[in-house]
A and B are shown apart, each in its own frame.
Chain A
Amino acid sequence: MHRSSNDRQHFIRVGVLIIISTILMTWMLKLALPLPTKASAQAFTVDRVLDVHIVLISFFFSLVVVFMLYSLVVFRRRAGDTGEGEHFEGNTALEIVWTVVPLIVVLFLGYLGVRTLNTIVAPQPDEITVDVKGFQWAWTFDYPEGGFTSPELVLPVNQPAVMEMTATDVLHSFWVPEFRVKQDLVPGQTTHVRFTPVEVGEYKLRCAELCGLTHWNMLATVRVVPQDEYDAWMTEQAAKADTAVAGVVDEHVSD
């Protein structure tokens, strides 16, 4: 029994299938896209935006795929049938709908993007400043407060931090996947990235901009520690730096 293509039955079935498919797709995409732990305050915002995207992707994917697969099954040519399909050339009202609705969706995404971007890049009071240098193929971290340089990035938990970054040779990029923010380091220019670590632990800073031979291995350890541990580390490092400076001075004197 053949139904006309504008039979309401088709649209009811497709609608139900789209709803089921959207729910399944959302669940599957979350499984297929396993984000690392959220270790910064920014990560929560970034992941919320990605979640909105995943739901929208699931819906629009289902919308197109369900309509397509349904057509392939229901409107397939039966054996021996050499006739033509139904003749309709378009529908202006439909075209306007599927121009305007996506327009509203992307404007909403744009609005969401601007709002959340402003949240995650906003300067915070009491930021710890670290001067980050990237070069082929390592990182150093200057702590202006302590007056020393460290090969690892150590930050106290729950304290906003700002990286003041520059590169000495080629482009590099600051990315700790658990923090979810990224910023290139540009020779001859200072760039910034802000985040607030919220989970104690050890992470890896990974250079995300192709920077030559051993780009793959341009890593640094990032440790997020409780405040007291951080204070102790700062004191220890500053003392080490002082002895080193003193040592240099001593050597000069003894010369």
Chain B
Amino acid sequence: MSLTSLGIIRGFIGQIIGTLAGLALVILLRLALGIAPVWQPELTWVIAILTGAVGFLVGVGAVTDWFKWMVGIETPLHHGPPVGKPAWTRYFSVDYNHKIIGIQYTVTAIVMLCIGGAFAVIFRTELARSGFQFLNANEYNTILGLHGWAALFAIFIGIGGLANYLVPLMIGADDMAFPRLNAFAYWINVPAIVYLLMSLFFGGWDAGWTIYPPLSIKAPMGIQFVLLAVFLLGFSSILGSLNLIATMLMMRPKGMSLFRMPIFCWAVLSASLIQLTATQFIAQVFLMVSFERTLGMGFFDPAAGGTPILFQHLFWFYSHPAVYVWVLPGLGVISEILPVFARKPLFGYRWIALSSLAIALVGFLVWGHHMFTSGYAPYLRVPFMLATLLVAVPTGVKFFSWLGTLWGGKLSFETPMLFTLGAISVFLIGGLSGPPLATVTSDLNLHDSYFVVGHFHATIFGGFTFPFVAALYFWYPKVTGRMYNEGLGKLHFWIMTPAFWMMSLGQMSVGVMGMRRRIADYDPLLGNGHIQAVQMVVTLSAFLIAFSILLMIFNFFHSAEMGRVAGNNPWRSRSPEWQIPSPVPEHSFANPIQVVGEPYDYGLPGSTYITMAPVAGDD
């Protein structure tokens, strides 16, 4: 078997060819037209990035079927492993099965989580002590921004993984509505990741993940790679969410009304509505920065007639709702897992479902809380403060409903349940540290301090990372057919969770002392000199979290070979995906399913959620 039979290798070759073609195109055009200088690096690279991305998609084969259709060649969906190649190669090539795509997304997300986490560990080591240890200010700023975007890539891609794998299984569908679009939406992430990381080698950039102009207009060229990487990632978001919405609205089985979907689907539906309608804003505003840098259009730099605050409005109009894209699916995972280990119905199903929708909708009205100190018209602070505080209400509904689910149950504490409870505790820290930032008066002090860093990380770890880890442990036996090692899983939990609590509290503490966010070095005298000790605690916690994640990855690799066979339904769940074999066969459901009851009626004698039509000839 040659290497080029792997789609991803062909993709990278295509990307290199596309990039070189783009570089050559601009240089030759400038030569031909007599424009000096012939080598204008930034403009040339922008074109090369775009042609390189196209080259990747062509090379990997994500657009092959569409081109064939254009010339009238029919391409029936191929099922099963590729002909004449080992089965594992399908994970590295274009495959239209949603379970393969889901695993591709999830593994990519874990890789990005490690990369993003590694950047964090690097600069947290620098911050363990005051003074410059081994990074200079430019390296610090670049790694800081890269940590942000690498971690955000991990989150978007991780959500794509959970949603792609689980949603069709949960609604008993054979696949996603648009399998080819699904593969395209995954593969476009790969060149995006390559460009994001390439920014390191083109001068880096010093404007953080929020890239506020005018600083981002003046930043080194590395920022162009980030701008376009995010643009490509946005493509994936829009197409993926479109696919998920279509799948959930059109492909549910008989009897599954919206209020009888597994609750995770509601969370994905709410998040997808945001992704489908808001991603365009960040795509637009990042393109505007790119245009301003390469073509000199004065959108944001006042020296060229622009206004810096316009960027912030456009950026946050997407980026605040995006926070709910990151956390809603995770909160859905919490609601999905709790009833299984409590052996009780999900308390207030409809309230939880609608609270996701409410958070998604109110989320569109709160972007201005990132801008209380920005210098926009002062009266705007009041409506944005009120709208932001309102988000606490549907979020509270979720917390209280989770407590209602636990109350009176028969709780057991396997690793997925532990991480679910950990997620609740961490998201609680994130949620409760929100109101002091939403209230303008206290925000005027805390804004842009390390307190915000603490709040944000607690929100995202509680809303994404902990539930994501819970989901990995929970569905691992479904995906692999084997059980992970329970002892190692519990060890992972008992390292990561207390470490995270310490980190969170430490970050908020140094913020209150007066430490600003995004600084390469800090004043050792803050907090009457206590800041150094707290910084050390935060750094050590970061190391512990990183170590525990490696433990998880080891566990998963080890158990894939050595784990005991899990069986179809080790958790005694009622959800459709647990009623079929593990690992899930190529065609998930041998026969269509029908919904005949409520999804979470644990403890109601004689109730069932779904029935499967008997296999033909089985009677």
Residues of A within 8 A of B480 (CB): none
Distance from A107 Cβ to chain B, minimum over Cβ atoms (Å): 8
Closest to A86 in B: B408
Chain B interface: which of A16-24, A202-210, A237-245? Answer: A202-210
A248 adjacent to chain B (CB < 8 Å): no
- Contacting residues, chain B, for A147 (C-beta < 8 A): none
Contact among B410, B445, B527 with A34 in the assembled complex (CB-CB below 8 Å) = B527
B428 touching A65, Cβ below 8 Å: yes
Report which of B303, B519, B600 forms a contact with A187, defined as CB distance below 8 A.
Answer: B303
For residues 56 through 88 of chain A, which have their beta carbon under 8 Å from a beta carbon of chain B? Answer: 56-57, 60-61, 64-65, 67-68, 71-72, 75-77, 81, 83-88
Chain B stretch 400-451: residues in CB contact (< 8 A) with chain A: 400-401, 403-404, 406-413, 421, 424-425, 428-429, 432-433, 435-436, 438-442, 444-445, 447-449
A49 to B439, Cβ gap below 8 A? Answer: yes
Q: In the complex, what residues of A have CB within 8 A of residue B42's CB?
A: none
CB proximity of B600 to chain A, nearest CB, Å:
8
B513 touches A98 (CB 8 A): no
Known: A34-B527, A85-B410, A87-B345. A120 touches B441 (CB 8 A): yes
Asked whether any CB of chain B lies closer than 8 Å to the CB of A32, the reply is yes
The answer, among A45, A88, A103, A112, for a CB contact under 8 Å with B393, is A103
The answer on a CB contact under 8 Å between B408 and A5 is: yes
B344 touches A84 (CB 8 A): yes
Contact, CB under 8 Å: A113 / B439: yes
The reply on B518 being an interface residue by CB < 8 A is: yes
Kindly identify which residue among A53, A98, A208, A214 contacts B137, using a CB–CB cutoff of 8 Å. Answer: A214
**Closest B residue, CB atoms, query A180:** B445
Say whether B392 contacts A106, CB under 8 Å: yes
A99 at the interface (CB under 8 A from B): yes
Residue B373 lies at the interface, judged by CB distance under 8 Å to chain A: yes
Residues of A within 8 A of B210 (CB): 210
Q: Do the beta carbons of A57 and B433 come within 8 Å of each other?
A: yes
Which residues 183-219 in B have Cβ within 8 Å of A in the complex? Answer: 206-208, 210, 212-215, 218-219
Given contacts A34-B512, A213-B138, is CB(A186)–CB(B421) below 8 Å?
no
Is A212 touching B218 in the complex (CB atoms < 8 A)?
A: yes
Q: Are A99 and B393 in contact (CB under 8 A)?
A: yes
Q: What are 9 A-B contacts defined by CB distance under 8 Å?
A: A68-B424, A76-B413, A85-B343, A85-B602, A95-B400, A106-B389, A183-B373, A208-B373, A215-B520
16 further contact pairs, Cβ within 8 A, besides A71-B411, A171-B215: A5-B407, A33-B509, A34-B527, A64-B403, A65-B425, A75-B411, A85-B603, A87-B345, A107-B389, A109-B435, A170-B212, A183-B373, A183-B375, A187-B214, A210-B206, A215-B518
* Chain B residues within 8 Å of A, Cβ to Cβ: 137-138, 141, 206-208, 210, 212-215, 218-219, 301-303, 307-309, 342-351, 373-375, 378, 381-382, 385-386, 389-390, 392-393, 396-397, 399-401, 403-404, 406-413, 421, 424-425, 428-429, 432-433, 435-436, 438-442, 444-445, 447-449, 505, 508-509, 512-514, 516-523, 526-528, 530, 598, 600-604
Name A's B-contacting residues (CB within 8 A): 4-6, 32-36, 45-46, 49-50, 53, 56-57, 60-61, 64-65, 67-68, 71-72, 75-77, 81, 83-91, 94-95, 98-99, 102-103, 105-107, 109-110, 112-114, 116-117, 120-121, 169-171, 173, 175, 177-178, 180-189, 191, 204, 206-217
